[in-house]
Amino acid sequence: MTCPSTKGRFIAFEGGEGTGKSTQARLLAEALAARGIDIDVTREPGGTPGAEAIRTLLLHPPGDGWAAEAEALLFAAARSDHVARRIRPAIAAGTWVVCDRFVDSSRAYQGGAGGLGDGAICRLHEFGSAGLRPDLTILLAVDEAHIARRLAQRDGDGSDAIGGRSADYHRAVAECFRDLAQADPAGFAMVDGEGDPQAVHARVMEAVMPLLPARGE
């Protein structure tokens, strides 16, 4: 039996490559479902047929790849379709949406490390997705050396076009994420992503607790 609600919630996981976002999104979804909450777990880029097609173009680009501006436009287009066709309808139906990445990834990757600037990314998001923000963005913070080991185990030599960028690029991404979280403490929860996945999950649940309905509601 699901928990009745007039409006769902929207939670996004953010962080650089190898910080455990997908694992923690899954664990959170399982915990919320156990409370009787309707859950939709999704990802960016992706989440709809159109956005998944764009994901392939972004992570495995043709030819020499995309210029920074084209890459930002493709991410914004994928997000626009995702928001219109999946995220907003789910929230309106009372479903809680848990998303592996959202607009703050574009702000950190294309806007910050990619040099396009935060203003350009936010304007694209305002136009394409009416500026939708999560109720809570969970930023997973993991030490750079630990991330390198995780990625070596996960990807070997098979990184995609964005994951395979230089260490300096990914360091800039991490710094930008921290800056975004520090500038918006009401919208972000910075969670220590080190250690066993269940230990990290417990920290995530602490951050999410203020959004949860009381048992029996």
**pLDDT tens digits, one per residue of 91-137:** 999 999 999 999 999 999 999 999 999 999 999 999 999 999 999 99
Domain boundaries, the chain: 10-211
Nearest alpha-carbon partner for 125 in 6, 49, 5, 12: 12
The CATH number of domain 10-211 is 1.10.1370.30: no
Mean pLDDT score of the chain, rounded to an integer? 91
pLDDT cut 70: percent of the chain above it? 89
Q: What is the pTM of this model?
A: 0.91
pLDDT at 181 over 90: yes
How many CB atoms are closer than 10 A to CB 53? 13
Q: Tell me how far apart the alpha carbons of residues 129 and 133 are, in angstroms, rounded to a whole number.
A: 9
pLDDT at 20 over 90: yes
pLDDT grade, residue 3 (50/70/90)? Answer: very low
